């Protein structure tokens, strides 16, 4: 499988996936599509989600036997990064999470999920800022991204010592709240009476899928901060004040250098995590590298996008100017699948001692 790829083959495979991302996230493309979808329902284009399915992205990580592409996290992170750069609103990461879960249990609407025909969201979360899945049968399931576009929801439900999985069709019981990036988050009231039980022990598969979603979210944020910074550099090289290009001012140069270093650390952290997992790390070793990457991406995405606004000055504070879109996206995604604090704490709980 892909995990065994040599360094060179992997680099080539990652380059190909980046190129293919251009189908949805064309380099140099404008933000018109993204802006048109903001604050609309369902907030994304189902046709693009199907296109993602056709391109094999939703099943990118799954083995070919499950209808996937059999690629590694290195490739998946590269893809998420490209999409983050273009602020692509389609909920690819939640769809991939559901795909992983269904492939692991070998049941449920896997095919419709992988083709992008249906958006099926895994409704695992009962409270903010957590990676834990209590699986309460009657607790509202919260923070469901793009829930208004979902055909059905998967509900983990604790039964004794195990967590079973139910599928509840969309319809009654869903409320939504708009988010800063123009999307929305849904809250779902479970109705297990009408739901279909599709698997009876998904605990381990779900925790793995949540970890991968946390890493992909980090990569998406990386793409966003990288692009926001590129826009900012262009601005620093053209804007004039006091008769000079503002990029000649050392105060701004050093701020820009600091931003660059944060982005470099984030990339190194994410790539190290992906490589560690692709090399087969499990358990605490897996959790440690993922928590490292997510805490880094969460805090640096906020730092970088904030600084990008500041370096732009007044124009950066207008909704019309695109750099603000990146700040608003970071506000929404930085805390998904665990905030920086949560992941720092988890890192300390699972990581080994400092290796001198």
Partner 1 sequence: MDAIRIPAPAELDALDDEHFRQVVRAFLHENYPDDLRNPPKRLHWDENRPWYMKLAERGWLCPGWPKEHEGLGLSPAKQIILTEEYERYGVARTNDHGIVMLGPLVIKYGTEEQKQRFLPKILTGEHIWCQGYSEPNAGSDLAALRTEAVLDGDEYVVNGQKIWTTLATDANWIFLLVRTDKQAKKQEGISFLLVDMKTPGITVRPIINLEMHDEFCEVFFDNVRVPKENLVGQLNKGWDMAKALLGFERIFLGSPRQSGYALSRLKILAERMGVWEDAEFQDRYARLRLEFEDLKALYGTFVERLKRGESLGPDVSMLKILQTELFQAITDTMLEIGGENAGLLEPMEGNRDLNIGGLFIQARPATIYGGSNEIQRNILSKNVLGLPG
Q: Which residues bind partner 1 (CB under 8 A)?
A: 233, 236-237, 244-245, 247-248, 250, 252-254, 256-258, 260-261, 264-266, 268-269, 271-272, 292, 295-296, 341, 344-345, 347-348, 351, 353-356
Distances (CA, A) of 207 to 134, 175, 212: 12, 26, 9
Q: How far is the CB of 308 from partner 1 (least distance, A)?
A: 13
Q: Which is nearer to partner 1, 107 or 281 (CB)?
A: 281
Q: Which is nearer to partner 1, 142 or 260 (CB)?
A: 260
Gyration radius (Cα) of the chain, Å:
20
What is the DSSP code (8-state) at residue 167? E
Tell which residue, 137, 125, 111, 124, has the closest CA to residue 58.
111
Q: Which is nearer to partner 1, 180 or 253 (CB)?
A: 253
HSE-CB at 179 with a 13 A cutoff on CA atoms is 27
Q: How far is the CB of 237 from partner 1 (least distance, A)?
A: 6
Q: How far is the CB of 200 from partner 1 (least distance, A)?
A: 37
Q: Which is nearer to partner 1, 95 or 236 (CB)?
A: 236
HSE-CB at 316 with a 13 A cutoff on CA atoms is 21
Distances (CA, A) of 205 to 112, 199, 211, 313: 20, 11, 10, 46
d(CA 301, CA 326): 9
Q: Which is nearer to partner 1, 152 or 299 (CB)?
A: 299
d(CA 245, CA 173): 55
Tell which residue, 291, 328, 287, has the closest CA to residue 309.
328
d(CA 137, CA 141): 10
Tell which residue, 41, 28, 38, 146, has the closest CA to residue 86.
28
Q: Is 6 exposed, middle or buried (0-12, 13-18, 19+ CB in 10 A)?
A: exposed
| 3-class secondary-structure state, position 150 | coil
Q: How far is the CB of 157 from partner 1 (least distance, A)?
A: 33
Q: How far is the CB of 174 from partner 1 (least distance, A)?
A: 37
Q: How far is the CB of 267 from partner 1 (least distance, A)?
A: 8
Q: Which is nearer to partner 1, 31 or 261 (CB)?
A: 261
Q: Which is nearer to partner 1, 47 or 265 (CB)?
A: 265
Q: How far is the CB of 309 from partner 1 (least distance, A)?
A: 18
State the DSSP string of 279-311: TT--HHHHHHHHHHHHHHHHHHHHHHHHHHHHH
Q: Torsion angle of alpha carbons 266, 268, 273, 279, nearest 10°? A: 160
Q: How far is the CB of 240 from partner 1 (least distance, A)?
A: 11
Q: How far is the CB of 71 from partner 1 (least distance, A)?
A: 21
Q: Which is nearer to partner 1, 162 or 237 (CB)?
A: 237
Q: Which is nearer to partner 1, 275 or 333 (CB)?
A: 275
- Other beta carbons less than 10 A from residue 182's beta carbon: 20
């Amino acid at each position: 499988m892909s995990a065994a790829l040599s360094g060179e083959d992997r680099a080539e495979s990652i380059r190909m996936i980046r190129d293919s991302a251009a189908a949805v996230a064309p380099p140099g493309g404008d933000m018109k599509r993204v802006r048109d979808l903001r604050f609309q329902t369902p907030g994304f284009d189902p046709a693009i989600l199907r296109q993602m399915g056709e391109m094999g992205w939703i099943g990118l990580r799954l083995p070919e036997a499950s209808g996937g592409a059999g690629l590694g996290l290195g490739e998946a992170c590269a893809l998420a990064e490209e999409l983050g750069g273009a602020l692509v609103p389609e909920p690819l990461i939640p769809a991939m999470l559901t795909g992983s879960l269904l492939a692991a249990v070998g049941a449920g609407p896997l095919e419709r999920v992988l083709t992008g025909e249906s958006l099926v969201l895994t409704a695992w979360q009962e409270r903010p800022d957590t990676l834990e899945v209590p699986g309460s049968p009657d607790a509202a399931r919260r923070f469901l991204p793009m829930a208004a576009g979902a055909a059905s929801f998967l509900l983990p439900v604790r039964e004794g010592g195990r967590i079973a999985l139910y599928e509840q069709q969309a319809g009654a019981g869903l409320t939504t709240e708009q988010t800063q990036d123009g999307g929305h988050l849904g809250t779902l009231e479970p109705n297990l009476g009408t739901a279909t039980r599709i698997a009876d022990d998904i605990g381990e598969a779900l925790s793995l899928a949540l970890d991968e979603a946390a890493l992909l979210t980090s990569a998406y944020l990386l793409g966003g901060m990288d692009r926001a910074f590129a826009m900012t550099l262009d601005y620093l090289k053209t804007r004039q004040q006091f008769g000079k290009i503002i990029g000649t001012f050392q105060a701004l140069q050093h701020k820009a250098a600091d931003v660059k270093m944060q982005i470099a650390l984030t990339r190194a952290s994410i790539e190290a995590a992906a490589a560690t997992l692709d090399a087969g790390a499990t358990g605490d070793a897996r959790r440690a590298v993922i928590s490292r990457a997510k805490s880094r991406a969460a805090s640096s995405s906020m730092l970088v996008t904030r600084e990008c606004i500041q370096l732009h000055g007044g124009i950066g504070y207008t909704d019309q100017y695109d750099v603000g879109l990146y700040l608003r996206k970071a506000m929404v995604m930085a805390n998904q699948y665990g905030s920086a604090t949560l992941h720092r704490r988890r890192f300390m709980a699972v990581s080994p001692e400092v290796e001198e």
